[in-house]
Structure 1
Amino acid sequence: MKAIVLYKSCSPEELNISEFPVPEGKPGWVLIKVRAFGINRSELIMRSYEANSPYMKLPRIPGIECAGEIEDPCDSNFTKGQRVIALMGGMGRSFDGSYAEYTLVPSKNVFKVDTTLGWEELAAIPETYYTAYGSLFDSLKLKPEDILLIRGGTSALGLSAIQLVKSVGGTVLASTRNENKRDLLLSQGTDNVLIDNETFTEQLFSLHPKGVNKVLDLIGPSTLLESARLVRHHGIICSTGVLG
């Protein structure tokens, strides 16, 4: 099969398509014919420098998610040709991932889907929305009455989170450093857009003098302390990602 194989940390220009053996099925796993896959920041980090870390076993086919069809269900309840998505669980890190024509994945990390979306559209959903959902409802315990601030709102994860918040009737504020992206955030359902500049704190407290009760921080260490000053007493902050 054709695959992109990582032998060391490298630039994107150094990636090449190689011939690699098709994985053989085994109990507890399923073989997927990959139709499309998303590209994630964690893969960029792995390719850029993490691949040279002593705990990484190379060569490795990257890719932590995919959309495709069951090629070999092995001992699972899936059927050959069934449309599925797969993600996480060590995919592309502990074992070979989705940058290939076929990938062998633990059956517990594979989910059947019934959709009219094309492969490219479907492949953009799994990791992004899975992460957004977990951050909002598992970590932040989001409720319809909550006022949530999303820092890094124009990222793929931020936009997905906005949609999920609005689907349950929550109030969402989202930040961006670029004034030109205000309309994008509003079009996704954002209630208030905050420009992340020297007046950021003042902008937020002018809208909510007591602060917000929950924050989804997608920027990372550079904004985390400031985010802590923006939440009410007993508020919750979830730090997901390191965009900054």
Structure 2
Amino acid sequence: MPRIVRFHQTGGPEVLQIEDLPSRQPGPDEVRIRVAALGLNRAEAMFRAGNYLEPPVLPARIGYEAAGVIDALGEGVEGLQPGDAVAVVPAFSMTAYGVYGEEAVVPARAVVKTPPELSAVEAASLWMQYMTAYGALIDIGELDTDDFVLIPAASSSVGIAAIQIARMMGATPIATTRTEEKKQALLDLGAAAVIVTEEENLVEEVRRLTDNRGARIVFDPVAGPYVENLASVTSPGGILFIYGALSLKATPFPLFKALANALSIRGYTVFEISLDDDRLARGVHFVKQGLAHGLLKPIIARTFPFEQIVDAHRYMESNEQIGKIVVTV
């Protein structure tokens, strides 16, 4: 029987359990994957803790991203074959599917063939980060070469993906990080400038760096009270994307700043892209082109063996990482 990660109650990393469960057969329009690697995401930690967009149905499987090889097809699946190396795009609810385990059954539309030059570890790290950043910056934000992009919490995998995509498009990415510790790494990864928010004034620094224009796109995973400052540095007519809730504090709506500068302040998740077949296909093409030309490259912070899934989640919540955490199976 395959080993599968589930949790029977919400809580910290310690609630994750590795269990022997019967193998599942894929249903119509589903595939089964023999998993080689898992990519970890903050959304999964929030789901595990009961703080996500949807509550888990206990006992719950978990996980959006995996890479491996297809070993079974459900009825009606076309364009895929057993033996294909694939990676999973977050294009489903974790109340219905979860990929943490030695095997995973997922919708066929949520898998993408892995380019042969990528390892399973790299493939497992791709689709949440790049599709999330692509959707906001390219699909919705229509990023242009003369744009400034402000990227809070930029050392996350999605933050690094946003830096790379901004560079790919000729725009100027400005990263933020709380402490000096990650500043040089973010500069080395392509940020045009890094603002250390515990030491520098965000508003003054963004105005200086943009010649008082502000950032046309702000791409924020934190939310909470700091949104007021982010609205202050969004350029007139600009977009402030809030794609996460790491703060867990109430998020005010900066009404007068929005009115004065015609700001768009909107919630956003990757599912706007991944649940729409046409937008997903365009996103996959964009990312594959960036990978092929060496303009996009996943940064792996650390790998853990499957047996250390609890430790991997603890490390994710430590905020020490720069890039993606991957679990090998």
TM value normalised by structure 2: 0.69
Select between 18-27 and 205-214 the one with higher mean Cα deviation. 205-214
1:204 to 203, 206, 211: 206
- Aligned residue type for 1:243: L
- Partner amino acid, structure 2, of 1:9: T
**Paired AA for residue 79 in structure 1:** Q
- Residue deviations 1:1-22 (CA, integer Å, cap 9, x gap): 1111222113323422111111
Q: Which residue of 1 aligns with 2:89?
A: 87
Per the alignment, residue 5 of structure 1 pairs with 6
CA contact (8 A) 1:69 1:83 kept: yes
Match runs of 1:77-226 below 5 Å: 77=78, 78-91=80-93, 93-197=94-198, 199-208=201-210, 209-226=212-229
Unaligned 5+ runs, structure 1 = none
Question: What's 1:61 paired with?
Answer: 61
Distance 1:68 1:88 in 2: 15
User: How many angstroms does 1:138 deviate by?
Assistant: 2.0
- For 2:241, give the aligned amino acid: C
Detail structure 1 runs of 4+ shifted over 6 Å in the superposition.
none
Q: Give the partner amino acid of 1:234.
A: G
Shift of 1:170: 0.8
Q: Which residue of 1 aligns with 2:298?
A: none
Structure 2: distance between partners of 1:136 and 1:196: 23
Q: Which residue number in structure 1 is paired with residue 71 of structure 2?
A: 71
Q: Is the 8 A contact 2:47 2:56 kept in 1?
A: no
1:103-151 CA distance string (max 9 Å, x none): 1111111111223222222212221111111121123221122111111
Contact 2:153 2:222 in 1 (8 A): yes
Equivalent residues of 2:7, 2:15 under 8 A apart: no
Contact kept in structure 2, 1:71 and 1:80, CA below 8 Å = yes
What is the identity, as a one-letter code, of the residue corresponding to 2:238? G
Letter aligned with residue 84 of structure 1: V
TM-score between the two structures when normalised by the length of structure 1: 0.91
Cα shift at 1:50: 4.4
Between 1:190-199 and 1:177-186, the stretch displaced more is: 190-199
Counterparts of 2:44 and 2:204 in 1: how far apart (Å)?
36
| 1:69 Cα deviation after fit | 0.8
The one of 224, 229, 235 aligned to 2:238:
235
Identity level (%):
30
Deviation at 1:90, TM superposition (A): 2.6
Higher relative contact order (CA 8 A, sep 6+): 2
- Separation (CA, whole Å) in 1 of partners of 2:59 and 2:234: 45
CA distance in 1, matches of 2:11, 2:193: 40
Name the SS for the 1:127 alignment partner: helix
SS of residue in 1 equivalent to 2:203: helix
Instruction: State whether residues 3 and 102 of structure 2, in contact with CA within 8 Å, keep that contact through their aligned partners in structure 1.
Output: yes
Give the total of aligned pairs. Answer: 241
Conserved? CA contact 1:152–1:243, under 8 Å: no
Q: Secondary structure at the match of 1:43?
A: helix
Gap runs ≥5 in structure 2: 248-329
Moved more, 202-211 or 161-170: 202-211
